Amino acid sequence: MTPQQLVIEIENLVSLPDVCVKVNRLIDAPNYSAATLGDLISQDTDLSARLLRLVNSAFFNFKAPVETISRAITVVGTNELRNLVMATTAARIFTGIPGDLVDMADYWRYSITTGVIAAELAKRCNVLHSERLFVMGVLHDIGRLAIYLKMPQEARDILLITGEDDTLLPETEYEILGFTHMDVGEALLRKWKLPESIITVVAYHHRPYATKVFQLETSLLHLASTLAYTEISGVGLHEVYELIDTGIWQITGLQVNEIEPLLEEIPQKVSEIMDVVLAPKLRPQKSQPS
């Protein structure tokens, strides 16, 4: 089994909705318009509702309401909206994972918290299109879900060995599977045709020094995932700082004293996004044109 084979074998279980496939195909086409893209997304009323509520959330904090998908494309950007389509869809397609392996609500809370923190850190580092970091955070551990789905017994062995210590996860996965959840995440996101920046960051988020491209984004995500653990578990910040290599601070240019004020803003944004992403079914409050 290779990561690519695993992704092929779960393709029927976690296949993207037709609208996502069409969105990817349209954006890859040489000539397309925002209006055409808006019309396409608007055909899926549930997805449209999720995207509009997300774009109107405190995470984006736009001054004026965004009432149509075409307007969302204008204010967020075509590629960024495509990435949000994938991120909001991911929570809907991973079902049937044994409950003893993962509590899905906890999984998405951690992933969304990582994404929100990563985006906030990126803003402080003046990273262009910081929303990309949100998507990276939401999807950074997606390979773990694929492993849980296809190889549940091996996943149980891995969890038994690592316990609660995620720092042991990549090495343990490699010993048991011959690859890591980062490898699987990379293969899956490549199959979904996401941008290379997102694929690279997901592939290297446990070892940001190993990549020569997108190292700042990878370091920010690495930092964000560690801080998300703090936010959710209640572990003291000083303990978490000990887990963060000094090189991460050097790459990002961030200071320790910048972190605590940032974390105060996180819970409200996470809660709002959780309501959007995990709601069983959403419908626009009123008929939305594209």
DSSP H or E segment with residue 153: helix 152-162
Cβ–Cβ under 8 Å, residues 223 and 125: no
Task: Give the number of C-alpha atoms closer than 13 A to the C-alpha of residue 38, restricted to the C-beta side.
Answer: 18
Longest dimension (CA), the chain: 53
Rounded CA-CA distance 283/290 in Å is 14
Rounded CA-CA distance 184/180 in Å is 7
* 288: confidence class by pLDDT, cuts 50, 70, 90: very low
At residue 166, the pLDDT reads: 85
Does the pTM exceed 0.75? Answer: yes
Neighbours of 228 (CB within 10 A): 26
Could you report the per-residue pLDDT of 152-198, keeping only the tens digit for each?
999 999 999 998 788 899 999 999 999 999 999 999 999 998 999 99
At residue 290, the pLDDT reads: 46
Q: Which has the higher per-residue pLDDT, 203 or 244? A: 203
In 3-state terms the chain splits into helix, strand, coil percentages (rounded to 5) of: 70, 0, 30
DSSP letter (8 states) at residue 64: S
Rounded CA-CA distance 28/26 in Å is 5
- Which class for 231: exposed (0-12), middle (13-18), buried (19 or more C-beta within 10 A)? buried
pLDDT above 90 as % of the chain: 72
At residue 170, the pLDDT reads: 96
At residue 287, the pLDDT reads: 45
At residue 196, the pLDDT reads: 95
Q: What amino acid is encoded at 139 in this protein?
A: L
Tokens 């296949």, residue? 15
Mean pLDDT of the chain: 91
Query: CA distances (Å), 172 to each of 37, 167, 177, 180, 290, in order?
Result: 43, 10, 8, 8, 47
280: tokens are: 């069983």
Domain 3-278 fold = Hypothetical protein af1432 (1.10.3210)
72: tokens are: 């969302």
Could you report the per-residue pLDDT of 32-64, keeping only the tens digit for each?
888 899 999 999 999 999 999 999 999 999 999
Torsion, Cα of 216, 217, 218, 219 (10° steps): 50
The closest of 94, 53, 46 to 271, measured between CA atoms, is 53
- The average pLDDT across 95-111 equals 93
